[in-house]
Amino acid sequence: MSVLLIGTLDTKGAETAFVRDRLTAAGVAVTVMDAGVLGPPAFAPDISRERVFAAAGADPAEVKAAGDRGHAVTLAAAGAAALAAQLHRDGKLSGVLGLGGSAGTTIATAAMRALPVGVPKLVVSTLASGQVAPFVGTRDVMMMHSVVDVAGLNRISRVVLGNGAAAMAGMVRQGAGDRKPETTDKPVIAATMFGVTTPCVEAARAVLEQAGYEVLVFHATGTGGKTMEGLIRDGLVAGVLDITTTELADELAGGVLSAGPDRLTAAGAVGIPQVISVGALDMVNFGPPDTTPPRYADRRFYHHNPNVTLMRTTPDENAKLGAELARKASAARGPTAVMLPLRGVSAIDAGGKPFWWPEADAELFGAIRVGIGGGAELVERDEHVNDPAFAAACAGKLLTMLADRRLFL
């Protein structure tokens, strides 16, 4: 018997390996399933993504060539469910443990819902504190809030992921492995990320970690933004890399991932250095397609995965969002820079992509230019938000502000 550990090894390889090692240390056999969809896996799994897609009746090569992450997630969920059910029928599965953001949670919980009640099922997810009905369904699926995004190993993610592994070990056998938190004295940077801004945040995180900082990445799912703002107000954060301010759009347009009206205020109130950008302000988040409000029937939509429907923000909404962002940045008591990627604000806001709308972006940028004031600095760069140069510029700007702040303290 073995615990089936489901992870997207193209984006969550280190985190999946950490959980695998914790389970093994607790004396639990582990079968790793790669539910990655496009990038190469971080390590060789026991069940490859090729088997997962094949179980869904899809050609893995065609899935990769299509480059449609939303469709790939749907297929991976179906394949993971089929394989989990078969492993259970064969007597080779004693529990299922998954981890991830919206994609990883969608895939792992699909496998869990394919199993009978009583088989241990646990997912460590950034979405566990929100609307969980689509993930849990009618099965005994347990969702543990990851607190920070499942994006790197840090003082919070190690503890939460370790607890998840220990909980699964406890369910499948007596006793659990050592799960003492690993702590460092490194100063903490809080960063915000979405799937559509992942390349930027991951590249910037690497620069900041190389400079000696510990980066806590928060998934901009409403709860993620609220959690980050709370930690900032508690004095636990030295600086903020707020690349992904998409929660402002959900608050404006009634999306499901709003972090409330106080989003983007804590760093300014506390006076710590912050770099702010406009990542994913091209979208408002809703649940499955049939949950979108009727008043938005004529809007432009993109189906990110079966549980997440994205709605493109309009020029008028972008103007309002730009004015709000500029107002909050201008009110900050500490060093603040607003970084504008003039070639697009998300992975699907670029030439030829579903949300490419230059006129809407122009309204966003224009409102920020008009509204910025106080001590806030405006930096415009002729790059896409996910260009490596933009990520490096954002990380470099924050490091400069942090260094200057230390000189004057």
pLDDT one-digit tens code per residue, 34-71: 999 778 999 999 999 999 999 999 988 888 888 888 89
Give residue for tokens 């991932």: 257
pLDDT one-digit tens code per residue, 301-318: 999 888 899 999 999 999
Q: Which residues of 334-355 are buried (b: 16+ CB within 10 A; e: fewer)?
A: bbbbbbbbbbbbbbbbbeeebb
Q: What is the pLDDT of residue 180?
A: 40
Q: What is the pLDDT of residue 182?
A: 52
Residue 5 pLDDT > 70, yes or no? yes
**Class of CATH domain 188-408:** alpha beta
DSSP string, 225-288: HHHHHHHHHTT--SEEEE---THHHHHHHT-TT---TTTT-HHHHHT--EEEE-TTTTEEEESS
Which DSSP category does 355 fall into? T
pLDDT one-digit tens code per residue, 276-290: 999 999 999 999 999
Q: Do domains 3-172 and 188-408 have the same CATH topology?
A: yes
Nearest to 265 by CA among 247, 283, 284: 247
Residues 115 and 121: their CA atoms lie apart, in Å, by 9
**Class of CATH domain 3-172:** alpha beta
Q: What is the pLDDT of residue 371?
A: 98
pLDDT one-digit tens code per residue, 253-262: 999 999 999 9
Domain ranges of the chain: 3-172, 188-408
Q: Please give the residue that has the higher pLDDT: either 408 or 157.
A: 157
Which DSSP category does 12 fall into? S
Q: Please give the residue that has the higher pLDDT: either 407 or 276.
A: 276
Give residue for tokens 């009978």: 116
Tell me the percentage of the chain whose pLDDT exceeds 70: 96
Q: What is the pLDDT of residue 340?
A: 98
How confident is residue 181, by pLDDT bands cut at 50, 70 and 90?
very low
The mean-pLDDT minimum among 169-178, 231-240, 330-339 falls in: 169-178
Residue 184 pLDDT > 70, yes or no? no
Q: What is the pLDDT of residue 1?
A: 74
What is this structure's pTM?
0.77
Residues 345 and 99: their CA atoms lie apart, in Å, by 27
Q: What is the pLDDT of residue 175?
A: 38
Residues 202 and 151: their CA atoms lie apart, in Å, by 8
Half-sphere exposure of 313 (CA within 13 A, CB side): 35
- Residue ranges of the alpha helices (H) in 257-387? 266-270, 315-330, 358-371
pLDDT one-digit tens code per residue, 121-151: 999 999 998 888 889 987 899 999 999 999 9
11: Cα separation from own chain's centroid: 10
Q: What is the mean pLDDT of residues 243-249?
A: 98
Q: What is the pLDDT of residue 170?
A: 94
How confident is residue 173, by pLDDT bands cut at 50, 70 and 90?
confident
